[in-house]
Amino acid sequence: METSIDTDMASAAGSSAASAAGSSAASPNKQSRESFDKHAPPVTLIIFGASGDLTARKILPSINSLVERSALSDEFTVVGVARTPMDDIGFQKLALECVPNYSSEWEKVVSRFRYITGEYDDLSTFSNLKTLLDEIDTTCGTQGNRLFYLATLPSMFAEVADQLARVNLNKPGTGGTFSRLVIEKPFGRDLQSALALNKELHSCFQESQIYRIDHYLGKETVQNVLALRFSNAIFEPVWNRSYVDHIQVTVAESIGVEHRGGFYETAGALRDIVQNHVMQVLGLVLMEPPAQVDGQSIRDEKVKLLHSVEIMEPDRVDSLVVRGQYDRGWLQGNQVASYREEDGVDPNSNTETYVAMKMMVDNWRWAGVPIYIRTGKRLHNRVTEVALQFKRVPHLAFADRLSRELTPNYIVLKIQPEEGISVRFGAKVPGQAFKVKTVSMDFSYGDAFSGETPDAYERLILDAMVGDPTLFIRADEVAQSWSIVDPILENWADEYSAPVALYPAGSWGPTEADLLIERDQRRWLVL
């Protein structure tokens, strides 16, 4: 339905954003971005925590990009809700300021944005919201469809969901087809709290209405794992224990905890990265082929895979997992502080900023193939990749001295910052002797495809509006990945467990992590 809502809403908001922020910043033409193959239906996006960091840094800039891609309907608007006192104009100004060089089109869209100041434990916040949403449905043509994005502290998730249900906002408005809830990790801090959160959410929203974001699933290169595995005949036949020797997953960051010391003290790398991002990526790399690429088939296969991961006995944790923490060091020529010196961090903290672990998958495809995982902050480089190392050929006919530079074959899925796939194999060095050396065949996203890669949030927010749950985490996946890390957390809570190992910032982690893999006559890949 096409309507001329812009004018209506500009007057409803009382004033235009142009007058709030000064129209001089707007450029007349939208930037050119490739359009998506999906288009959102009319909907109101309601952001709880609208005055916060996630809204300004990710959500609103992604909405702007979706506008530039013409992926949103004309009948789209945003309502911000937060405790910070602000009016519509203030929120519109914020929405403009978080988009550098915004277009006049963004200015027009933003002029419809509304804002409600209120406490989340006060029912009147939610009855005011309901009144406003009903009004917007009439004036703006949003047709009763609502997407609630909880960009709040996770401790507020259950409360907000409950209050929404109390005023019937867990159902679409008149004429609408959906009311959905978007939440972002952490989903609990262990199995028990995750189950409790699932239960609280399920008491007000059905599972099909809940969209749990793991932003790694929104990354193009992570989604490309599916394309690589299931649209090519050459990879899948060797993607199993008969050919793969072991798998290495690296999620290395060079940044420290930045301004999030207080939060990080309650999390640590295992909860922050392994339980969610690493398990999700591994799910896609290791799962069985789905019957089709849709929300149910993909998530069924991922959860099946997670159920096959060997659960560690707590007394084996010390030999299978290394926890580390960054000490002072040097990065890109600058001296950086230790974790314990960061703002909001206990000077005696034992929180891990690094984890290395060995994991086994007990199923037909992966029996006996170790998965080595390492992730950490303040490491030498920012790099995320998954490498499958293949077994050596059964008999190497070349003389030792001629094949010294030959390493096993690898397929490396490069997730970031380089985006692509690299296949490493042996080739003859030109010359008379039959010398063999490892070479690499590289596919790079940037070279193969023009146009910039959309931000993970853009794709995910659009999918939530469209109602495609494929790239969102289901309740049973959350629970199962906590079951995998829970014994580790339990072991670490014990004062007699192996202490946190310090590593200098700018290194590749503690030496204990090298020992973990070298014990198996293997080595971490040099990145």
Residue numbers at the binding site for ligand BG6 (CB under 6 A):
215, 253, 272, 384
Closer to ligand BG6 by Cβ: residue 126 or 326 = 326
Which residues, in sequence order, are bridge partners of residue 114? 79
Nearer Cβ to ligand BG6 (178/457):
457
Compute the distance between CA of residue 116 and CA of residue 160 in angstroms, rounded to an integer: 14
Q: Residue 325's closest CA among 524, 523, 486, 505?
A: 505
Which one-letter DSSP state was computed for residue 292? S
Smallest gap from Cβ 455 to ligand BG6, in A, equals: 10
Q: How many other β-carbons are positioned within 10 Å of the β-carbon of residue 350?
A: 15
Distance CA 83, CA 80 (A): 10
> 247: which DSSP letter?
E
Tell me how far, at minimum, the Cβ of 254 lies from ligand BG6, in Å.
Answer: 10
The minimum distance between CB 384 and ligand BG6, in angstroms, equals 6
Q: Which is nearer to ligand BG6, 67 or 273 (CB)?
A: 273
Q: Name every residue whose Cβ is closer than 8 Å to that of residue 129 and which is 6 or more positions away in sequence.
A: 46, 79, 81, 116, 118, 167, 169
Give the β-pairing of 244-252 and 334-336.
unpaired
Helix (H, G, I), strand (E, B) or coil at 432: coil
**Among 195, 146, 153, CA closest to 167:** 146
State the minimum distance, in angstroms, from the CB of residue 249 to ligand BG6: 13
35: Cα separation from own chain's centroid = 22
Residue 307 catalytic? no
Closest to ligand BG6 by CB, 215 vs 435, is 215
Residue 255 CB neighbour total at 10 angstroms:
11
Catalytic residue among 259, 277, 307, 380, which?
Answer: 277
Provide, rounded to whole angstroms, the least separation between the CB of residue 97 and ligand BG6: 23
Beta carbon nearer to ligand BG6, 222 or 359: 222
Place of tokens 């893999």: 517
**Cβ count within 10 A of residue 91:** 30
Catalytic residues: 277
